[in-house]
Chain A
Amino acid sequence: MHIEPNDGDLLRRMTTGDEAAFTTLYKRYQDGIYRFARQMTGGASLAEEVTQEVFLTLMREGRSFNASRGSLRAWLYGVARNCTLRCLERERPYVGLEAEAGEENAAELVADPCLSEDGLAGLGSRETVEQVRRAVLALPASYREVVVICELHELGYAEAAQILGCPVGTVRSRLHRARELLALRLEALRAGPARTVAAPKPCHR
């Protein structure tokens, strides 16, 4: 039976130059980190930049990781969170988050119309998904991050507290408030005019 090496072992090996260990860590966490950054920024290029920075930081500072202060996953998410906030701060004067997210997601809609099994019903659920995505992106960063971590990534409150560097109680209260804001936002979106969606291309499968 094959036993997956734990993060500590991989990290130790990585710091001695073991490329396979680094690759394993990358494959283990890249999707979560990339998704986190994408959900926080709404942009693929920023998410890529953040993911790269996170793993470069792992190379540079992995040796200083202290397992007694939390999991490696929490540490990586924490780095991703800091990078993301820096990116958002830097990009704020130039890019409207919603505009960027809307454009990219609309492009994906056109590019991948076969995601849904059922045509019209799928289109409806896709529209809902995009509404929720826009509502999440419209939240202030401090609420958005807690929604992304606890709701979309389904991490526990304790781990979220490690990532955000705040008490568990703060995570709970922020999440509560964030959910209220989201619900209001979604109600407003549902009440508004229906969003036009790019027509799907024929599905060839």
Chain B
Amino acid sequence: MNMNCDRFETLLESLERDAPMAADLRSAALHHAESCGHCRARLASARLLRMELQTLARDDKKLQAPARLEANLLSAFRERSLRPSRVWRSVSWASLAAAVAVGIWLLAEHPWRQAGPPPLVKIQAARPASLPQIAPVATTVKTRNKIAGKSSIHRLSRPTGSRTAASIADEFIALSSGGSWYPVGDGMVVRVQVPRSAPALVGLPMSGGDASGTVTADVVLGEDGVARAIRFVQPSEGKSRNQNSDFAQN
């Protein structure tokens, strides 16, 4: 088999690593190295380098990241697991915005006040979890039909006269004028604090207590962030049931 320095060079890596290769090829290469000083030196140098690198690799096996790094990372992992997702952070901002918007809207004596009590909206599956004040409520209102005015959650009823506690239990009161509705889409329910005078503005009875306080309410927000409906939460609702008749006071 013909062997020269160029051919030997291509086989150098396999030779110094003792990688599998055809026996006659290996034999020819080694025979060439015996007779060629340059190639013999190349092979010796490559083998020495390999040994030295292996020694370095073995020596470095003892290197370990410091223990504090693991502790720091675990701490970061726990924090990350507890932190609400980006979605919930935005919900939290949305709830704050909703609280402000609803408060302003209710206090501004909206035109519908003169036209009688607002329509009621029944919201399905919009039961919020008990949460601290102005905290996002993990309830997303999904609608099947997103076409304006045809959302499945907008089953309007228009009660007349004064409503009893029982009749308004579990009902959301629409925050729209003239019965015109916009789609809720993938809206959400957020729990907020509103002035204690707010229930009266939507024609609901107000329980006694400090008039300067606040009451808890659940607000339905549309996809666009605009408040669509509201219900007021009883003090005992922390336990989930809500009635608009006797409101939580804070």
Contacts and interface: CB of A to CB of B under 8 A. Distances in A.
Interface of A: 17, 19, 22-23, 26, 30-31, 33-35, 38-39, 47-48, 51-52, 55-56, 59, 115, 125-126, 128-129, 131-133, 136, 147, 151-154, 176, 179, 182-183, 186-187
A52 B46 contact: no
A47 B69 CA distance: 11
A129 B65 CA distance: 20
B56 interface: yes
A22 B70 CA distance: 10
Contacts of B186: none
A154 to B, nearest CB: 7
Contacts of A133: 56
Secondary structure type dominating chain B contacts: helix
B69 A51 contact: yes
Nearest to B66: A48
Interface string B49-69: 110110111011111111001
A203 B223 CA distance: 72
Contact of A129 (B50, B56, B72, B78): B56
B160 to A, nearest CB: 52
Interface of B: 13, 45-46, 49-50, 52-53, 55-57, 59-66, 69-70, 72-74, 76-78, 80-81
Contacts of B62: 115
> Looking at B60, B65, B77, which has the most chain A CB atoms within 10 Å of its CB?
B65
A154 B57 contact: yes
A183 B49 contact: yes
Nearest to B13: A176
A92 to B, nearest CB: 23
Nearest to B10: A176
Contact of A153 (B13, B57, B74): B57
28 contacts: A17-B81, A19-B74, A19-B78, A23-B70, A23-B74, A26-B73, A30-B69, A31-B63, A31-B64, A33-B65, A34-B63, A35-B60, A35-B61, A38-B63, A48-B66, A51-B65, A52-B72, A128-B55, A129-B55, A129-B56, A132-B55, A133-B56, A151-B53, A152-B57, A152-B60, A154-B57, A183-B45, A187-B45
B46 A179 contact: yes
A129 B74 contact: no
